Chains A and B, each alone.
Chain A
Amino acid sequence: MKPIYLDNNATTACDPAVVEAMLPFFTEQFGNASSIHNFGNQVGLAIKQARAQIQALIGAEHDSEIIFTSGGTESDNTAILSALKAQPERNQIITTMVEHPAILALCERLEKEGYVVHKLRVDSRGRLDIDEYKALLNNRVAIVSVMWANNESGTIFPVEEMAELAHAMGIQFHTDAVQAVGKLPIDLKRSKIDMLSLSGHKLHAPKGIGVLYLRRGTRFRGLLKGGQQERGRRPGTENSPGIIGLGKAAELAMQHFSTENNDVRYLRDKLEKGILAKVPRAFPTGDLHNRLPNTSSIAFEFVEGEGILLLLNKLGIAASSGSACTSGSLEPSHVMRAMGIPYTAAHGTIRFSLSRYNTLEEVERVIAAVPPIIEQLRKISPYWGEAGPVEDPAKMFAPAYG
């Protein structure tokens, strides 16, 4: 049976049209964009076109605001380090507890180096408290970095409003929009967002290519030093096939915007409702009224995520889990813990993330596949009795220690 891919927040398949657009740039048009001869010149023009395609997707005012990078991680790191370097008089960072490790691990290192990092908390639905945010804004803050949409729960943060508040205080605002681009309307010229990260492989372009949007006039210090590529802001010979692919993917994303927000959303809702209707003691996580149209994160109580994934995989269904066991970190996902999801459920959270390639038939197959898997695992769980969690104290699981 054809495998079903529901892990598009991890990475997406390259669109065939993207691959096709890229191919000539490996062979015929292999030149260096900086060269004067025809081999290079053609490449330079194609990159210019790609820049315009991305500019259109995110509504940037100028095409020079688009800086090509190696992906989301590099863009995130560049943004924060730039803000600190360019404003040495400011030593504070405001971010959230639920950012991607590309932000959080960097902040952890910066904290050790003496910077002050404020991490905004979220409520049980993954939402921020804007009053807490306002109270933290002060003239020692170099940068606010808040993701546009969360990769695990899909919850959307009000970054445009938050950027206005930061701007009013003269603070740079960065958003990790890796999960949002192509799924949410973004019009940067009408916002106060100074920097934005996006990553190709989350929107059907290849891995290893991304963009840092940098608003004109924003003080900037690049991460790397080298040649004059990307106006010296990101030196290194351009990854021309990747850039051309990302440009094409941006164009396709604009064409498919309503598919993502209508068809994909319909499938996601159907999947979520279908599973919840059949599985007891399961609940969706995140802000159900304000989340990405493609993401459903369901917590299954009293079972562990890795087992669910292995059994799904056996049926050719790919999803992912915030469980500790799959990551090797021993701790369940920081996003689930920040939302205060109880341990009884946090270990059994499964994320289904769809794309425009998924079909109704696939969703129906998954709805049929999940309930027996949960039942099978609960049957061998010491926390589950005949028809529900063990409540009889005599039968309760009582470890000798631990």
Chain B
Amino acid sequence: MWDYTDKVKEHFFNPRNAGPLEDANAVGDIGSIQCGDALRLMLKVDPATDVILDASFQTFGCGSAIASSSALTEIIKGMTLDEAYKVSNQDIAEYLDGLPPEKMHCSVMGREALQAAIANYRGEEWKDAHAEGELICKCYAIDSALIEDVVRTNNLSTVEEVTHYTKAGGACASCHEKIEEVLVRILKENSKTPSFEKTEPAPVPAAAPATASASSEKPKLTNLQRMRKIEEIIESLRPMLQRDHGDIEIVDIIGKNIYVNLKGACMGCALEAATLGSIQQKLFEDLGEYVRLLPASMMEMAP
């Protein structure tokens, strides 16, 4: 079992401010039951002073999610909205004398619910502010804005840490390269070198010269040859998917992005992503180059 601090246990066993808040005038909902945790934060704000008079929560999630929610309500009661807006996920974790690294995402969820509730009170669309970033982790719907923010405030330097804090990359692993890109960008700003040693079987990191020399020099394909080859590989995988009552079709190939439609039983949150992930892996190996397999629904979002 997890190594929870006494404070975490105490807040889990005796959560403060749990349950609906009848006269709440600000509500922030974050997460979903699919992802395994969800939090609704309810605030009663004094319209004259912007002071949070009361706060309560409802949480579906593990022990640390409930403890983080409880801690959050205790921290923000009595603060003005501007003060509360500055509460970081680290403040929540510190209030609990720390969280296990794998559970840091619970504190991030707390801070997000808080920001959503404040936006809700102010009549802002928090969604818009958030959707500016590119969607990075499809499995858990985590975008680059959130990852950047969490990397900066918590000084993260590995993909593994990003997964612990945000869940991004925790299911199919096909976004690990994108997470690395975000890390590299931010670490460059701080002129630190990223450490990628800990990352699990990195799907051919773009910036790894070793792979180029190690893999046998494959002759460079013409565009047409390459497309045929991709078609061939996908075609060879179809029987496998059909056996699972699914199917796949190529919609378009744009640079290193291959857009496909998954059908039937292949569809659905994490399974779809896992299927894409393993097909992508096969494409890497057979093509000898890095390509990205994306659902056709993401074509509009393409840069």
Contact = CB atoms under 8 A, between A and B. Distances in A.
B13 A314 contact: yes
A380 B69 CA distance: 11
Contacts, number: 110
Interface of B: 1, 9, 12-13, 15, 18-19, 28-40, 57-63, 65-66, 102, 116, 119, 126-127, 130-131, 140-141, 163, 167, 170-171, 243-244, 270-271, 281
B66 A400 contact: no
A344 B58 contact: no
A324 B130 CA distance: 26
Given A331-B270, A401-B131, A382 B38 contact: yes
A329 B40 CA distance: 24
Q: Is the interface of A mostly helix, strand, loop or mixed?
A: loop
A332 interface: yes
Given A382-B58, A400-B130, A402-B30, A330 B171 contact: yes
Contact of A382 (B9, B40, B62, B116): B40
A138 to B, nearest CB: 13
Contacts of A309: 1
23 contacts: A112-B281, A302-B33, A304-B36, A304-B37, A304-B60, A306-B62, A307-B66, A309-B1, A310-B1, A323-B62, A330-B167, A343-B33, A343-B34, A343-B36, A379-B18, A379-B19, A380-B15, A380-B18, A380-B59, A382-B58, A399-B38, A400-B116, A400-B127
Given A112-B281, A382-B29, A304 B62 contact: yes
A309 B281 CA distance: 37
Q: Is the interface of B mostly helix, strand, loop or mixed?
A: mixed
B59 A381 contact: yes
Nearest to B106: A325
A400 B40 CA distance: 11
Contacts of B57: 380
B25 to A, nearest CB: 15
Most buried by B among A313, A329, A330: A330
A113 to B, nearest CB: 11
A307 B29 CA distance: 20
Given A121-B244, A399-B38, A400-B127, A381 B60 contact: yes
A65 to B, nearest CB: 35
A379 B60 CA distance: 10
Contacts of B36: 304, 323-325, 330, 332, 343, 347
A381 B270 CA distance: 23
Interface in A37-85: none
A397 interface: yes
Nearest to A343: B34
A362 to B, nearest CB: 21
A402 B166 CA distance: 12
B19 A380 contact: yes
Interface string A275-310: 000000000000000000000000000111111011
B279 to A, nearest CB: 12
Contacts of B65: 304, 325
